[in-house]
Copies of this chain bind each other. A is one copy, B any other.
Amino acid sequence: MNASPAAPSPSAFPAVWLRDNCPCPECRDPRNGQKLFGVTDLDPRIEVVGSDGFLVTFSDGHAARFDPAWLASHALDGTVPDDRTEDAKALWATLTPPEGNWSRCLADPAHMRECLNAVLRTGFVLLREVPVEPGAVLEVAGAFGYVRETNYGRLFDVRVEATPVNLAFTGLPITPHTDNPYRDPVPTVQLLHCLSNAVEGGESGLVDGFNAAALLRAENPAAFELLASTPVTFRYGDANTELTASRPMIGLDPLGRIREVRFNNRSMQPVRLPYERTEAFYAAYRAFAEILNRPDLQVRLRLAPGDCVIFDNTRILHARTGFTESGDRHLQGCYADLDGLAGNLAVLRRREAVVDHLRALFEGPGADDYLGEEVSQAAHMLQAAACALRDGAAPELVAAALLHDVGHFTGEISGHDLMGGTDNRHSHVGADWLARWFGPEVTEPIRLHVAAKRYLCAVESSYHDLLSEASRYTLSVQGGPMGPEEVAEFESDPYARDAVRLRRWDDEAKEPEREVAGFGEYEALLHRLVR
Protein backbone atom coordinates (compact mmCIF):
# COMPACT_ATOMS: atom_id res chain seq x y z
CA MET A 1 0.00 0.00 0.00
CA ASN A 2 3.06 2.21 -0.14
CA ALA A 3 4.23 3.82 -3.33
CA SER A 4 6.39 1.32 -5.20
CA PRO A 5 9.62 1.95 -7.05
CA ALA A 6 9.53 1.54 -10.79
CA ALA A 7 9.06 -2.13 -11.67
CA PRO A 8 12.03 -3.86 -13.28
CA SER A 9 11.43 -5.88 -16.41
CA PRO A 10 11.22 -9.66 -15.91
CA SER A 11 14.39 -9.86 -18.00
CA ALA A 12 16.29 -8.52 -14.99
CA PHE A 13 15.76 -11.92 -13.31
CA PRO A 14 17.18 -15.33 -14.24
CA ALA A 15 14.66 -17.72 -15.78
CA VAL A 16 14.95 -20.17 -12.86
CA TRP A 17 14.19 -17.41 -10.37
CA LEU A 18 11.12 -16.32 -12.34
CA ARG A 19 9.89 -19.89 -12.77
CA ASP A 20 10.44 -20.65 -9.07
CA ASN A 21 8.51 -17.56 -8.05
CA CYS A 22 5.52 -17.94 -10.34
CA PRO A 23 2.53 -16.71 -8.30
CA CYS A 24 -0.19 -18.73 -10.08
CA PRO A 25 -2.43 -21.03 -8.04
CA GLU A 26 -0.81 -24.11 -9.59
CA CYS A 27 2.52 -22.99 -8.18
CA ARG A 28 1.42 -21.46 -4.88
CA ASP A 29 -1.47 -22.61 -2.77
CA PRO A 30 -3.88 -19.65 -2.86
CA ARG A 31 -5.11 -20.58 0.63
CA ASN A 32 -1.76 -20.09 2.33
CA GLY A 33 0.73 -18.82 -0.25
CA GLN A 34 2.97 -21.87 0.15
CA LYS A 35 4.95 -23.11 -2.81
CA LEU A 36 3.60 -26.32 -4.26
CA PHE A 37 6.75 -27.67 -5.90
CA GLY A 38 10.38 -28.14 -5.05
CA VAL A 39 13.43 -26.87 -6.87
CA THR A 40 14.08 -30.34 -8.28
CA ASP A 41 10.69 -30.26 -9.98
CA LEU A 42 11.97 -27.49 -12.23
CA ASP A 43 13.73 -28.22 -15.49
CA PRO A 44 17.41 -27.46 -14.79
CA ARG A 45 17.64 -25.95 -18.28
CA ILE A 46 14.57 -23.78 -17.89
CA GLU A 47 14.50 -20.75 -20.19
CA VAL A 48 12.24 -17.84 -20.90
CA VAL A 49 10.84 -18.37 -24.40
CA GLY A 50 8.57 -15.38 -24.58
CA SER A 51 7.45 -12.38 -22.68
CA ASP A 52 4.71 -9.85 -23.06
CA GLY A 53 5.12 -7.14 -20.47
CA PHE A 54 4.85 -8.95 -17.15
CA LEU A 55 3.57 -12.20 -18.65
CA VAL A 56 6.47 -14.61 -19.07
CA THR A 57 6.37 -17.93 -20.95
CA PHE A 58 8.87 -20.65 -20.09
CA SER A 59 10.45 -23.51 -22.04
CA ASP A 60 8.47 -25.99 -19.89
CA GLY A 61 5.25 -24.56 -21.32
CA HIS A 62 4.27 -22.76 -18.13
CA ALA A 63 3.36 -19.06 -18.16
CA ALA A 64 3.66 -16.72 -15.19
CA ARG A 65 2.12 -13.29 -14.79
CA PHE A 66 4.00 -11.08 -12.31
CA ASP A 67 2.68 -8.15 -10.37
CA PRO A 68 4.99 -5.24 -11.28
CA ALA A 69 4.92 -3.93 -7.69
CA TRP A 70 5.93 -7.36 -6.38
CA LEU A 71 8.82 -7.56 -8.86
CA ALA A 72 9.92 -4.07 -7.86
CA SER A 73 10.01 -5.03 -4.20
CA HIS A 74 12.05 -8.16 -4.96
CA ALA A 75 14.67 -6.62 -7.22
CA LEU A 76 17.99 -8.52 -7.33
CA ASP A 77 19.85 -5.76 -5.56
CA GLY A 78 22.00 -8.00 -3.37
CA THR A 79 19.83 -7.44 -0.33
CA VAL A 80 20.36 -10.17 2.24
CA PRO A 81 17.91 -9.08 4.87
CA ASP A 82 18.25 -10.30 8.41
CA ASP A 83 16.45 -8.23 11.01
CA ARG A 84 18.45 -9.82 13.78
CA THR A 85 21.83 -8.41 12.78
CA GLU A 86 23.42 -5.09 13.66
CA ASP A 87 22.29 -3.72 10.27
CA ALA A 88 18.70 -3.64 11.47
CA LYS A 89 19.47 -2.09 14.86
CA ALA A 90 19.99 1.40 16.19
CA LEU A 91 23.16 0.95 18.25
CA TRP A 92 23.58 3.19 21.27
CA ALA A 93 26.17 4.17 23.81
CA THR A 94 23.73 5.82 26.11
CA LEU A 95 20.23 7.15 25.62
CA THR A 96 17.01 8.13 27.29
CA PRO A 97 15.29 4.80 27.79
CA PRO A 98 12.37 4.24 25.44
CA GLU A 99 9.31 4.11 27.65
CA GLY A 100 5.82 2.82 27.24
CA ASN A 101 2.73 2.46 29.33
CA TRP A 102 1.14 -0.92 29.67
CA SER A 103 -2.47 0.21 29.93
CA ARG A 104 -1.97 2.40 26.88
CA CYS A 105 -0.50 -0.59 25.02
CA LEU A 106 -3.66 -2.52 25.72
CA ALA A 107 -5.88 0.31 24.47
CA ASP A 108 -3.82 1.64 21.59
CA PRO A 109 -2.22 -0.69 19.07
CA ALA A 110 -0.01 2.11 17.76
CA HIS A 111 1.52 2.47 21.21
CA MET A 112 2.01 -1.28 21.46
CA ARG A 113 3.68 -1.16 18.07
CA GLU A 114 6.07 1.56 19.24
CA CYS A 115 7.00 -0.47 22.32
CA LEU A 116 7.65 -3.68 20.38
CA ASN A 117 9.60 -1.74 17.81
CA ALA A 118 11.80 -0.30 20.56
CA VAL A 119 12.74 -3.84 21.63
CA LEU A 120 13.70 -4.73 18.06
CA ARG A 121 15.48 -1.49 17.15
CA THR A 122 16.87 -0.16 20.44
CA GLY A 123 16.97 -3.49 22.24
CA PHE A 124 14.63 -2.71 25.12
CA VAL A 125 11.63 -0.82 26.38
CA LEU A 126 10.68 0.23 29.88
CA LEU A 127 6.98 -0.34 30.40
CA ARG A 128 5.25 1.60 33.16
CA GLU A 129 2.03 0.79 34.98
CA VAL A 130 2.12 -2.95 34.73
CA PRO A 131 -0.13 -4.11 37.59
CA VAL A 132 1.89 -4.73 40.75
CA GLU A 133 0.59 -8.28 41.00
CA PRO A 134 2.45 -11.56 40.99
CA GLY A 135 2.22 -13.15 37.54
CA ALA A 136 1.47 -9.93 35.68
CA VAL A 137 4.73 -10.35 33.78
CA LEU A 138 3.26 -13.42 32.10
CA GLU A 139 0.39 -11.34 30.77
CA VAL A 140 2.81 -8.83 29.31
CA ALA A 141 4.81 -11.60 27.64
CA GLY A 142 1.66 -13.33 26.44
CA ALA A 143 0.44 -10.15 24.78
CA PHE A 144 3.18 -10.31 22.17
CA GLY A 145 4.27 -13.92 22.04
CA TYR A 146 4.74 -17.10 23.96
CA VAL A 147 6.43 -17.59 27.29
CA ARG A 148 9.50 -19.84 27.07
CA GLU A 149 9.25 -22.20 29.99
CA THR A 150 12.55 -23.29 31.52
CA ASN A 151 13.78 -25.17 34.59
CA TYR A 152 13.19 -21.91 36.45
CA GLY A 153 9.50 -22.26 35.63
CA ARG A 154 7.22 -20.17 33.45
CA LEU A 155 8.18 -17.25 35.63
CA PHE A 156 10.89 -16.87 38.22
CA ASP A 157 11.22 -14.71 41.29
CA VAL A 158 14.33 -12.56 41.63
CA ARG A 159 14.75 -11.94 45.33
CA VAL A 160 17.07 -12.98 48.08
CA GLU A 161 16.89 -16.70 48.79
CA ALA A 162 18.40 -18.69 51.63
CA THR A 163 20.07 -21.28 49.38
CA PRO A 164 20.39 -19.54 46.02
CA VAL A 165 20.90 -21.82 43.03
CA ASN A 166 21.92 -18.67 41.17
CA LEU A 167 23.65 -15.48 42.27
CA ALA A 168 20.66 -13.57 40.92
CA PHE A 169 18.93 -14.73 44.09
CA THR A 170 21.34 -12.95 46.43
CA GLY A 171 22.02 -9.28 47.15
CA LEU A 172 25.39 -9.36 45.39
CA PRO A 173 26.14 -6.90 42.60
CA ILE A 174 25.96 -8.51 39.19
CA THR A 175 28.01 -7.22 36.28
CA PRO A 176 26.62 -6.91 32.76
CA HIS A 177 25.64 -10.27 31.36
CA THR A 178 23.19 -12.02 29.12
CA ASP A 179 20.92 -14.62 30.67
CA ASN A 180 20.95 -18.35 30.17
CA PRO A 181 23.96 -18.60 27.85
CA TYR A 182 23.99 -22.29 28.80
CA ARG A 183 20.80 -22.76 26.83
CA ASP A 184 20.64 -23.28 23.08
CA PRO A 185 18.39 -21.94 21.78
CA VAL A 186 18.94 -19.18 24.29
CA PRO A 187 15.78 -17.32 25.33
CA THR A 188 15.89 -14.30 23.06
CA VAL A 189 13.64 -11.99 25.09
CA GLN A 190 13.66 -11.37 28.80
CA LEU A 191 11.12 -9.50 30.89
CA LEU A 192 11.78 -8.26 34.42
CA HIS A 193 8.83 -6.86 36.34
CA CYS A 194 9.32 -5.01 39.60
CA LEU A 195 6.92 -5.82 42.42
CA SER A 196 8.93 -4.05 45.14
CA ASN A 197 12.28 -2.33 45.40
CA ALA A 198 12.70 -0.79 48.84
CA VAL A 199 16.41 -1.44 49.27
CA GLU A 200 19.56 0.62 49.20
CA GLY A 201 21.16 -0.18 45.85
CA GLY A 202 19.61 -2.71 43.51
CA GLU A 203 19.75 -0.39 40.51
CA SER A 204 19.50 -1.96 37.08
CA GLY A 205 21.89 -1.25 34.22
CA LEU A 206 21.60 -2.05 30.54
CA VAL A 207 24.39 -2.18 27.95
CA ASP A 208 24.03 -2.50 24.19
CA GLY A 209 26.15 -5.57 23.51
CA PHE A 210 26.04 -5.01 19.74
CA ASN A 211 27.45 -1.53 20.27
CA ALA A 212 30.14 -2.91 22.57
CA ALA A 213 31.06 -5.60 20.05
CA ALA A 214 31.21 -2.99 17.28
CA LEU A 215 33.53 -0.89 19.47
CA LEU A 216 35.74 -3.92 20.05
CA ARG A 217 35.85 -4.52 16.29
CA ALA A 218 36.95 -0.90 15.79
CA GLU A 219 39.43 -0.78 18.66
CA ASN A 220 40.85 -4.28 18.59
CA PRO A 221 39.95 -6.20 15.43
CA ALA A 222 42.05 -9.22 16.38
CA ALA A 223 40.25 -9.57 19.71
CA PHE A 224 36.89 -9.27 17.96
CA GLU A 225 37.89 -11.92 15.46
CA LEU A 226 39.09 -14.27 18.20
CA LEU A 227 35.89 -13.96 20.25
CA ALA A 228 33.75 -14.37 17.14
CA SER A 229 35.57 -17.54 16.13
CA THR A 230 35.91 -19.31 19.48
CA PRO A 231 32.99 -21.27 20.89
CA VAL A 232 32.89 -21.00 24.67
CA THR A 233 31.01 -23.40 26.88
CA PHE A 234 28.54 -22.16 29.47
CA ARG A 235 27.08 -24.44 32.09
CA TYR A 236 24.37 -24.46 34.71
CA GLY A 237 23.62 -27.36 37.01
CA ASP A 238 21.45 -27.99 40.02
CA ALA A 239 19.78 -31.04 41.53
CA ASN A 240 17.53 -31.61 38.51
CA THR A 241 19.24 -29.62 35.79
CA GLU A 242 22.42 -29.94 33.79
CA LEU A 243 22.62 -27.52 30.87
CA THR A 244 25.57 -26.70 28.65
CA ALA A 245 25.86 -24.76 25.42
CA SER A 246 28.90 -23.86 23.36
CA ARG A 247 28.74 -20.72 21.26
CA PRO A 248 31.06 -17.80 20.63
CA MET A 249 30.67 -14.72 22.80
CA ILE A 250 30.12 -12.70 19.64
CA GLY A 251 28.00 -14.51 17.08
CA LEU A 252 28.15 -13.35 13.46
CA ASP A 253 25.90 -14.07 10.53
CA PRO A 254 27.51 -15.59 7.41
CA LEU A 255 28.15 -12.07 6.11
CA GLY A 256 30.12 -11.17 9.24
CA ARG A 257 27.43 -9.00 10.80
CA ILE A 258 27.04 -9.04 14.59
CA ARG A 259 24.01 -11.15 15.36
CA GLU A 260 24.23 -12.37 18.95
CA VAL A 261 26.18 -11.67 22.11
CA ARG A 262 26.59 -14.16 24.97
CA PHE A 263 28.43 -12.95 27.99
CA ASN A 264 28.23 -14.38 31.47
CA ASN A 265 31.27 -14.76 33.69
CA ARG A 266 29.32 -16.72 36.28
CA SER A 267 28.52 -19.71 34.11
CA MET A 268 31.42 -19.66 31.64
CA GLN A 269 33.46 -22.85 31.69
CA PRO A 270 37.23 -23.14 31.28
CA VAL A 271 38.44 -22.77 27.72
CA ARG A 272 40.61 -25.60 26.45
CA LEU A 273 42.52 -23.85 23.70
CA PRO A 274 46.24 -24.41 23.24
CA TYR A 275 48.42 -22.46 25.69
CA GLU A 276 49.23 -19.40 23.55
CA ARG A 277 45.74 -19.16 22.15
CA THR A 278 44.39 -19.35 25.69
CA GLU A 279 46.45 -16.30 26.61
CA ALA A 280 45.26 -14.46 23.50
CA PHE A 281 41.70 -15.46 24.27
CA TYR A 282 41.93 -14.06 27.79
CA ALA A 283 43.32 -10.77 26.47
CA ALA A 284 40.42 -10.53 24.00
CA TYR A 285 37.87 -11.53 26.63
CA ARG A 286 39.26 -8.86 28.97
CA ALA A 287 39.18 -6.22 26.22
CA PHE A 288 35.50 -6.98 25.53
CA ALA A 289 34.66 -7.05 29.24
CA GLU A 290 36.34 -3.69 29.75
CA ILE A 291 34.19 -2.16 27.05
CA LEU A 292 31.06 -3.74 28.49
CA ASN A 293 31.90 -2.32 31.91
CA ARG A 294 32.44 1.27 30.73
CA PRO A 295 30.06 3.40 32.78
CA ASP A 296 29.35 5.68 29.82
CA LEU A 297 27.98 2.74 27.85
CA GLN A 298 25.47 1.79 30.50
CA VAL A 299 21.93 3.07 30.95
CA ARG A 300 20.93 3.07 34.61
CA LEU A 301 17.37 2.45 35.68
CA ARG A 302 15.86 2.22 39.09
CA LEU A 303 12.89 -0.07 38.65
CA ALA A 304 9.90 1.00 40.69
CA PRO A 305 6.91 -1.19 41.46
CA GLY A 306 4.90 -1.58 38.26
CA ASP A 307 7.88 -1.11 35.96
CA CYS A 308 8.69 -3.90 33.55
CA VAL A 309 11.75 -3.87 31.35
CA ILE A 310 11.59 -6.00 28.20
CA PHE A 311 14.86 -6.61 26.40
CA ASP A 312 16.54 -8.52 23.63
CA ASN A 313 18.62 -11.12 25.47
CA THR A 314 20.76 -11.77 22.38
CA ARG A 315 21.96 -8.16 22.43
CA ILE A 316 21.34 -6.26 25.67
CA LEU A 317 23.40 -7.12 28.75
CA HIS A 318 21.82 -6.40 32.08
CA ALA A 319 23.45 -5.71 35.41
CA ARG A 320 22.46 -4.65 38.86
CA THR A 321 24.21 -2.98 41.75
CA GLY A 322 24.40 -4.81 45.06
CA PHE A 323 21.83 -4.22 47.76
CA THR A 324 21.20 -4.94 51.40
CA GLU A 325 19.83 -8.46 51.64
CA SER A 326 17.55 -7.56 54.51
CA GLY A 327 15.49 -5.13 52.41
CA ASP A 328 12.50 -5.87 50.25
CA ARG A 329 13.34 -6.21 46.57
CA HIS A 330 11.25 -8.50 44.44
CA LEU A 331 11.26 -8.81 40.68
CA GLN A 332 9.50 -11.41 38.62
CA GLY A 333 10.95 -12.42 35.32
CA CYS A 334 10.13 -14.60 32.39
CA TYR A 335 11.55 -15.44 29.00
CA ALA A 336 10.02 -15.22 25.56
CA ASP A 337 11.30 -15.05 22.00
CA LEU A 338 12.06 -12.39 19.45
CA ASP A 339 10.41 -14.21 16.57
CA GLY A 340 7.04 -14.00 18.28
CA LEU A 341 7.61 -10.38 19.20
CA ALA A 342 8.67 -9.45 15.66
CA GLY A 343 5.75 -11.43 14.28
CA ASN A 344 3.33 -9.58 16.48
CA LEU A 345 4.84 -6.28 15.43
CA ALA A 346 4.45 -7.27 11.78
CA VAL A 347 0.79 -8.13 12.35
CA LEU A 348 0.26 -4.78 14.10
CA ARG A 349 1.88 -3.04 11.15
CA ARG A 350 -0.23 -4.98 8.68
CA ARG A 351 -3.35 -3.97 10.58
CA GLU A 352 -2.17 -0.42 10.86
CA ALA A 353 -1.61 -0.32 7.11
CA VAL A 354 -5.24 -1.34 6.62
CA VAL A 355 -6.41 1.37 9.00
CA ASP A 356 -4.14 3.88 7.25
CA HIS A 357 -5.64 2.88 3.94
CA LEU A 358 -9.19 3.30 5.24
CA ARG A 359 -8.30 6.64 6.79
CA ALA A 360 -6.95 7.81 3.45
CA LEU A 361 -10.26 6.86 1.85
CA PHE A 362 -12.17 8.88 4.44
CA GLU A 363 -9.91 11.87 3.95
CA GLY A 364 -9.78 11.62 0.16
CA PRO A 365 -12.71 10.33 -1.88
CA GLY A 366 -14.88 10.14 1.26
CA ALA A 367 -14.86 13.90 1.62
CA ASP A 368 -16.78 14.12 -1.65
CA ASP A 369 -20.49 14.67 -1.95
CA TYR A 370 -22.73 11.82 -0.97
CA LEU A 371 -25.04 11.16 -3.85
CA GLY A 372 -27.25 14.20 -3.54
CA GLU A 373 -27.34 14.18 0.27
CA GLU A 374 -26.31 17.26 2.22
CA VAL A 375 -23.44 15.47 3.99
CA SER A 376 -20.21 14.10 2.60
CA GLN A 377 -19.84 10.33 2.33
CA ALA A 378 -17.31 10.38 5.18
CA ALA A 379 -19.60 12.42 7.43
CA HIS A 380 -22.47 10.06 6.63
CA MET A 381 -20.50 6.98 7.61
CA LEU A 382 -19.14 8.63 10.76
CA GLN A 383 -22.70 9.54 11.74
CA ALA A 384 -23.83 5.96 11.15
CA ALA A 385 -20.96 4.71 13.32
CA ALA A 386 -21.89 7.20 16.05
CA CYS A 387 -25.47 5.89 16.00
CA ALA A 388 -24.17 2.33 16.33
CA LEU A 389 -22.00 3.31 19.27
CA ARG A 390 -24.90 5.16 20.90
CA ASP A 391 -27.05 2.04 20.58
CA GLY A 392 -24.40 -0.17 22.18
CA ALA A 393 -23.66 -2.21 19.07
CA ALA A 394 -20.85 -4.77 19.10
CA PRO A 395 -17.50 -3.52 17.74
CA GLU A 396 -17.94 -5.52 14.54
CA LEU A 397 -21.27 -3.82 13.85
CA VAL A 398 -19.85 -0.38 14.70
CA ALA A 399 -17.16 -1.10 12.12
CA ALA A 400 -19.82 -2.20 9.64
CA ALA A 401 -21.68 1.08 10.20
CA LEU A 402 -18.46 3.04 9.78
CA LEU A 403 -17.52 1.23 6.57
CA HIS A 404 -20.91 0.40 5.08
CA ASP A 405 -20.50 2.60 2.02
CA VAL A 406 -16.81 2.04 1.19
CA GLY A 407 -18.10 0.26 -1.89
CA HIS A 408 -18.84 3.71 -3.23
CA PHE A 409 -15.10 4.45 -3.30
CA THR A 410 -13.81 1.07 -4.28
CA GLY A 411 -16.32 -0.13 -6.86
CA GLU A 412 -15.34 -0.26 -10.47
CA ILE A 413 -18.17 2.12 -11.24
CA SER A 414 -18.64 5.21 -9.12
CA GLY A 415 -21.57 6.15 -6.94
CA HIS A 416 -22.40 8.88 -9.38
CA ASP A 417 -23.28 6.20 -11.86
CA LEU A 418 -25.85 5.01 -9.35
CA MET A 419 -27.46 8.41 -9.43
CA GLY A 420 -27.38 8.05 -13.20
CA GLY A 421 -29.61 4.97 -12.93
CA THR A 422 -27.21 2.01 -12.54
CA ASP A 423 -27.10 -0.30 -9.47
CA ASN A 424 -23.45 -0.32 -8.57
CA ARG A 425 -24.08 -3.06 -6.03
CA HIS A 426 -21.90 -1.04 -3.71
CA SER A 427 -22.94 -3.19 -0.79
CA HIS A 428 -21.45 -6.30 -2.36
CA VAL A 429 -18.43 -4.53 -3.74
CA GLY A 430 -17.67 -3.03 -0.33
CA ALA A 431 -18.22 -6.31 1.51
CA ASP A 432 -15.99 -8.24 -0.90
CA TRP A 433 -13.28 -5.61 -0.72
CA LEU A 434 -13.35 -5.56 3.08
CA ALA A 435 -13.35 -9.37 3.35
CA ARG A 436 -9.59 -9.35 2.79
CA TRP A 437 -9.20 -7.87 6.25
CA PHE A 438 -12.43 -8.30 8.18
CA GLY A 439 -14.61 -11.21 9.21
CA PRO A 440 -18.25 -11.81 8.25
CA GLU A 441 -19.52 -9.99 11.35
CA VAL A 442 -18.24 -6.83 9.65
CA THR A 443 -18.74 -7.62 5.99
CA GLU A 444 -22.10 -9.41 5.91
CA PRO A 445 -24.27 -6.64 7.43
CA ILE A 446 -22.65 -4.36 4.84
CA ARG A 447 -23.44 -6.83 2.06
CA LEU A 448 -27.07 -6.92 3.18
CA HIS A 449 -27.62 -3.24 3.94
CA VAL A 450 -29.15 -2.43 0.57
CA ALA A 451 -31.32 -5.54 0.74
CA ALA A 452 -32.34 -4.40 4.25
CA LYS A 453 -33.77 -1.20 2.75
CA ARG A 454 -35.82 -3.22 0.25
CA TYR A 455 -36.83 -5.56 3.11
CA LEU A 456 -37.99 -2.75 5.41
CA CYS A 457 -39.97 -1.14 2.58
CA ALA A 458 -41.78 -4.46 2.22
CA VAL A 459 -42.51 -5.17 5.90
CA GLU A 460 -42.85 -1.71 7.50
CA SER A 461 -45.41 0.52 5.84
CA SER A 462 -44.05 3.61 7.59
CA TYR A 463 -40.44 2.92 6.60
CA HIS A 464 -40.60 4.21 3.05
CA ASP A 465 -41.72 7.61 4.28
CA LEU A 466 -38.58 7.94 6.42
CA LEU A 467 -36.25 7.61 3.46
CA SER A 468 -34.50 10.64 2.08
CA GLU A 469 -35.43 11.73 -1.41
CA ALA A 470 -32.18 10.41 -2.87
CA SER A 471 -32.63 7.10 -1.08
CA ARG A 472 -36.14 6.74 -2.43
CA TYR A 473 -34.79 7.28 -5.91
CA THR A 474 -32.03 4.69 -5.57
CA LEU A 475 -34.54 2.16 -4.16
CA SER A 476 -36.07 1.87 -7.59
CA VAL A 477 -32.62 1.28 -9.16
CA GLN A 478 -31.90 -1.32 -6.47
CA GLY A 479 -35.02 -3.38 -7.22
CA GLY A 480 -37.84 -1.77 -5.21
CA PRO A 481 -39.47 -3.38 -2.13
CA MET A 482 -38.94 -7.14 -1.67
CA GLY A 483 -41.59 -9.67 -2.60
CA PRO A 484 -42.72 -12.27 -0.01
CA GLU A 485 -40.19 -14.92 -1.08
CA GLU A 486 -37.36 -12.45 -0.93
CA VAL A 487 -38.53 -11.37 2.53
CA ALA A 488 -38.46 -14.96 3.81
CA GLU A 489 -35.05 -15.56 2.33
CA PHE A 490 -33.68 -12.35 3.80
CA GLU A 491 -35.00 -13.18 7.26
CA SER A 492 -33.25 -16.53 7.21
CA ASP A 493 -29.85 -14.90 6.84
CA PRO A 494 -27.91 -14.95 10.13
CA TYR A 495 -26.78 -11.38 9.54
CA ALA A 496 -30.24 -10.01 8.61
CA ARG A 497 -30.89 -8.55 12.04
CA ASP A 498 -27.56 -6.71 12.08
CA ALA A 499 -28.19 -5.50 8.53
CA VAL A 500 -31.55 -4.03 9.55
CA ARG A 501 -29.94 -2.24 12.50
CA LEU A 502 -27.22 -0.93 10.19
CA ARG A 503 -29.88 0.17 7.72
CA ARG A 504 -31.70 2.29 10.28
CA TRP A 505 -28.44 4.02 11.29
CA ASP A 506 -27.71 4.54 7.60
CA ASP A 507 -31.05 6.26 7.17
CA GLU A 508 -30.53 8.37 10.26
CA ALA A 509 -27.01 9.47 9.35
CA LYS A 510 -27.70 12.22 6.90
CA GLU A 511 -27.92 15.34 9.05
CA PRO A 512 -25.74 18.17 7.80
CA GLU A 513 -25.23 19.78 11.21
CA ARG A 514 -24.56 16.77 13.43
CA GLU A 515 -21.14 16.81 15.14
CA VAL A 516 -19.76 13.32 15.66
CA ALA A 517 -16.45 11.67 16.49
CA GLY A 518 -13.90 11.57 13.67
CA PHE A 519 -12.25 8.57 12.04
CA GLY A 520 -9.42 8.64 14.58
CA GLU A 521 -11.83 7.55 17.30
CA TYR A 522 -12.44 4.26 15.50
CA GLU A 523 -8.87 3.38 14.62
CA ALA A 524 -8.15 1.16 17.63
CA LEU A 525 -11.48 -0.60 17.17
CA LEU A 526 -10.78 -1.24 13.49
CA HIS A 527 -7.25 -2.32 14.28
CA ARG A 528 -8.44 -5.02 16.62
CA LEU A 529 -10.86 -6.36 14.03
CA VAL A 530 -8.39 -6.67 11.16
CA ARG A 531 -7.48 -10.30 10.58
Q: Which residues of A contact B (CB under 8 A)?
A: 12-14, 16-17, 20-21, 29, 31-40, 42, 44, 74-84, 146-151, 163-167, 172, 175, 182-186, 188, 228-231, 233, 237-248, 252-255, 265-268, 270-275, 277-279, 282, 285-286, 289-290, 293, 337-340, 342-343, 346-347, 350, 531
Partner of A39, one of B243, B247, B286: B286
Partner of A242, one of B148, B186, B275, B346: B346
Minimal Cβ-Cβ distance residue in B for A142: B149
Complex: A20 Cα to B281 Cα, angstroms? 13
Supposing A17-B271, A81-B246, A278-B14 touch, asked if A241 and B347 sit within 8 A by C-beta, the answer is: yes
Partner of A32, one of B17, B35, B165, B175: B165
Copies of this chain assembled into the complex: 2
Minimal Cβ-Cβ distance residue in B for A186: B185
Please state if A165 and B39 are interface contacts (CB–CB under 8 Å). Answer: no
Complex: A274 Cα to B347 Cα, angstroms? 30
Please state if A167 and B32 are interface contacts (CB–CB under 8 Å). Answer: yes
Across-interface contacts of A337 in B (CB, < 8 A):
185
A267 to chain B, nearest CB (A): 6
Supposing A80-B273, A270-B74, A278-B17 touch, asked if A343 and B241 sit within 8 A by C-beta, the answer is: yes
Supposing A265-B38, A286-B40, A343-B243 touch, asked if A253 and B231 sit within 8 A by C-beta, the answer is: yes
Which of A79, A231, A267, A285 lies at the interface centre, i.e. has the most chain B CB atoms within 10 A of its CB? A231
Complex: A102 Cα to B124 Cα, angstroms? 43
Please state if A21 and B289 are interface contacts (CB–CB under 8 Å). Answer: no
Minimal Cβ-Cβ distance residue in B for A79: B272
Supposing A38-B265, A245-B339 touch, asked if A274 and B78 sit within 8 A by C-beta, the answer is: yes
Partner of A31, one of B83, B164, B286, B347: B164
Minimal Cβ-Cβ distance residue in B for A46: B282
Please state if A80 and B267 are interface contacts (CB–CB under 8 Å). Answer: no
Supposing A39-B285, A149-B147, A185-B339 touch, asked if A34 and B167 sit within 8 A by C-beta, the answer is: yes
Complex: A252 Cα to B347 Cα, angstroms? 32
Across-interface contacts of A29 in B (CB, < 8 A):
164, 167
Supposing A242-B346, A275-B12, A279-B14 touch, asked if A35 and B266 sit within 8 A by C-beta, the answer is: yes
A-B CB contact pairs (8 Å), 30 listed: A13-B275, A13-B278, A14-B275, A14-B282, A17-B270, A29-B167, A31-B163, A31-B164, A32-B164, A32-B166, A38-B265, A38-B293, A39-B285, A39-B289, A44-B286, A74-B272, A76-B273, A77-B272, A78-B272, A81-B272, A82-B246, A82-B247, A84-B184, A185-B188, A185-B339, A230-B254, A231-B253, A231-B254, A243-B343, A244-B343
Across-interface contacts of A243 in B (CB, < 8 A):
339, 342-343, 346
Partner of A240, one of B183, B185, B531: B531
Across-interface contacts of A77 in B (CB, < 8 A):
272, 274
Across-interface contacts of A282 in B (CB, < 8 A):
14, 16-17, 20, 39
A14 to chain B, nearest CB (A): 5
Minimal Cβ-Cβ distance residue in B for A347: B242
A109 to chain B, nearest CB (A): 13
Please state if B531 and A274 are interface contacts (CB–CB under 8 Å). Answer: no
Supposing A81-B246, A246-B81, A290-B40 touch, asked if A255 and B273 sit within 8 A by C-beta, the answer is: no
Across-interface contacts of A81 in B (CB, < 8 A):
231, 233, 246, 272
Supposing A32-B167, A183-B339, A282-B14 touch, asked if A274 and B80 sit within 8 A by C-beta, the answer is: no
Supposing A38-B175, A40-B286, A229-B254 touch, asked if A80 and B272 sit within 8 A by C-beta, the answer is: yes
Minimal Cβ-Cβ distance residue in B for A232: B80
Across-interface contacts of A340 in B (CB, < 8 A):
150-151
A146 to chain B, nearest CB (A): 4
Across-interface contacts of A35 in B (CB, < 8 A):
265-268
Across-interface contacts of A273 in B (CB, < 8 A):
76, 78, 80
Q: Which 10 A-B pairs have the closest CB atoms?
A: A185-B185, A242-B346, A239-B531, A82-B246, A34-B266, A146-B149, A229-B254, A79-B272, A38-B265, A243-B343
